[in-house]
Structure 1
Amino acid sequence: MKTNSIKGLLGMGASVLALAISASAVAEECKPLHSFKTIQPGELTVTSVVLPPFAYDDQARRFSGVDGEIIQQIAKDNCLKVNHIVTDSAASIQYVVASRSDISVGAWYRTFERSKVMGISDPVYLEQTAIYSRDGADTFDQLKDRKVGTVTGYLWVPELKKLYGGKLSMYPNAVALSQDLNSGRIDAAVNTYAIGAESQKKGGIGKDIQIKVAKPDERVKSSVYPAQTAFIYSKGNSELGAAINATIKGMRESGKLGSLLTDQGLRADGADVGEPRYADQ
């Protein structure tokens, strides 16, 4: 064999050894901040619906959105790879209950009923109640003599029925509500700020509609105490809960959580959650 061929082989061997040593060093550098069990070793399995701006896969198929980015940070803090599974709403939580997923995310409200059977993280951000109108109304008194619409199932529905009676129109979903608001069949709408901002960004709500966070009104509890969202996990995995809470706390204190909200077209003050509470109490 020629001398230069031997030298080449030796050089290649040295390069491979150097890469192996480098990869080993990188692996050793990652030290998890917390110790907890996951369903698949080395992975953080997460379920969610497709719910922009909170939970979705971006063009590179990376789990993104506000919740997605927090999950990415939890995984990074604890040397894990994210495995994101898209499900429907009911299945997302059932995966956790059945121990097929470590965490379920997607703007889940913190409720006392859920806390009985599942682990619920510290508050992540607020689901702020908003008024959609053409003149920028931000109080419920301003809607008194108008045709108002909202979506069935929200916590504020019974309160709005007391305020507006027969002038309140109910809709099965946000799309139908927006269509009637755009066409002028109703004068104003009440829904979450996040839904309105995302819909307007995608053209579902006209640019002539102003979306304002409702000013606090004791007659509508959610305007005074907006629902806090949380991540759901197995009630028996308290170590995972502690890790989730630690990352959320760090991101809030550094301002990163507020930045994630504004990056998605939301308000930074949505990160100012206050003391933990339940939406159903």
Structure 2
Amino acid sequence: MKRLLAMTAILAFAHTASAFAADCSNAVKTVEQGKLTVAAYDYPPFSVTSGTGAAGIDFDIVKRAAQENCLEAVSLTLDPAATIQAVVSGKADVAIGSWNRTEKRAKAVSMSAPTYLDPMGIFSKEGYDSVDSFIGKNVGTVQGYLWVSELQKLLGPSLKLYPTPVALAQDLEAGRIDVAADGYNSGVYLQKTADAYKGIKIVLSKPDERVQASVQPAQAGVIYTKDNESLGAALDKSIKAQHADGSIVKALEAAGFDKKVADVGEPRMVK
């Protein structure tokens, strides 16, 4: 009886393995056969690099896509700017690190289906949650952000621009400004892990047509080799499944984010 059970188990395992192999497609084109080379830089919790390789929300997303296509995900740790160049030059298949889907970026590389949002957050001691709360206040934000030009039109001289989020946070904590518009994701994570933004409440902005980033936040995605259709299809299929089974929202909530960050909507590119 035991021998029969053992033989049954072996056959079942063999059937599962062969079925997995049958489902796996070798049609995905990569830099190195059998591997998915992932260019990564340190931007936790999305991309976490160490001497042993990469981890984080983005890496888990591409690792699952790799496994579903019989590929081994291997990481290549680089500086932020070098990660995209690694894909352009053919040294890596994908680049991770919460890269926004933009029209300019899509001219040099391809972008996967959206993984999560990169929304505008409102930072204040009072817990403000709308653009209306900016009116009559001293407001700060960081140069180069998507919402800067619209806030300048709305607030005029009441808006102060900062070179970095650190400088912005320092003035906010010190009370030199009343409220700030900054990246929700990075703010929440730094507050949770690095004791940043002491005494500050960070909330998602309510939609306001005057500031389009509050209505349609930028979508993040995985960068991959330009026009590699087989890789793009594999990534998009996996990302769709990871949204459907709740994997992505669970990872985001575990990092401390509002589950709305996973509600990406239809794919779009930032101009």
- Relative to the length of structure 1, the TM-score reads 0.85
Report the equivalent of 1:274: 265
Report the equivalent of 2:113: 122
* Contact 1:74/1:247 (<8 A) preserved: yes
The farther-off stretch of 245-254 and 80-89 is 80-89
Q: Distance in 1 between matches of 2:24 and 2:240?
A: 14
SS in 2 for 1:93: helix
Q: Distance in 2 between matches of 1:110 and 1:81?
A: 25
Report the equivalent of 1:17: none
Report the equivalent of 2:182: 191
1:70-93 CA-to-partner distances (Å, cap 9, x unmatched) read 022112212222221222222111
Report the equivalent of 1:264: 255
Q: Distance in 1 between matches of 2:169 and 2:189?
A: 12
Residue 204 of structure 1 is aligned with which of 192, 196, 202? 196
Report the equivalent of 2:48: 56
Residue 38 of structure 2 is aligned with which of 36, 46, 50? 46
**Structure 1 unaligned spans of 5+:** 1-20
Q: Distance in 2 between matches of 1:141 and 1:119?
A: 37
1:158-183 CA-to-partner distances (Å, cap 9, x unmatched) read 11111221121111111121111112
Matched, 1:95 2:93: no
Letter matched to residue 214 of structure 1? S
Matched, 1:255 2:239: no
**Structure 2 unaligned spans of 5+:** 1-9
SS in 1 for 2:242: helix
* Contact 1:109/1:228 (<8 A) preserved: yes
User: Residue 269 and residue 178 in structure 1: after superposition, are their counterparts in 2 closer, same or farther (change >3 A)?
Assistant: same
SS in 2 for 1:112: coil
Q: Distance in 2 between matches of 1:255 and 1:145?
A: 41
Letter matched to residue 41 of structure 1? Q
Q: Could you say what the CA RMSD is over the residues aligned between the two structures, in angstroms? A: 2.1
Q: Distance in 2 between matches of 1:116 and 1:185?
A: 41
CA drift at 1:198: 1.1
Q: Distance in 2 between matches of 1:264 and 1:147?
A: 31
* Contact 2:28/2:69 (<8 A) preserved: no
Residue 136 of structure 1 is aligned with which of 127, 132, 147? 127
Matched, 1:170 2:178: no
* Contact 1:65/1:264 (<8 A) preserved: no
Q: Distance in 2 between matches of 1:111 and 1:168?
A: 25
1:84-132 CA-to-partner distances (Å, cap 9, x unmatched) read 1222222111111100000011111111222233211111111111100
Letter matched to residue 49 of structure 1? Y
Q: Distance in 2 between matches of 1:50 and 1:175?
A: 17
Matched, 1:182 2:170: no
CA drift at 1:27: 7.5
Report the equivalent of 2:218: 227
- Relative to the length of structure 2, the TM-score reads 0.88
Report the equivalent of 1:15: none
Aligned residue pairs total 257
* Contact 2:49/2:77 (<8 A) preserved: no
User: Residue 245 and residue 62 in structure 1: after superposition, are their counterparts in 2 closer, same or farther (change >3 A)?
Assistant: same
Q: Distance in 1 between matches of 2:245 and 2:53?
A: 23
Who wins on radius of gyration, i.e. which is larger?
1
SS in 1 for 2:219: strand
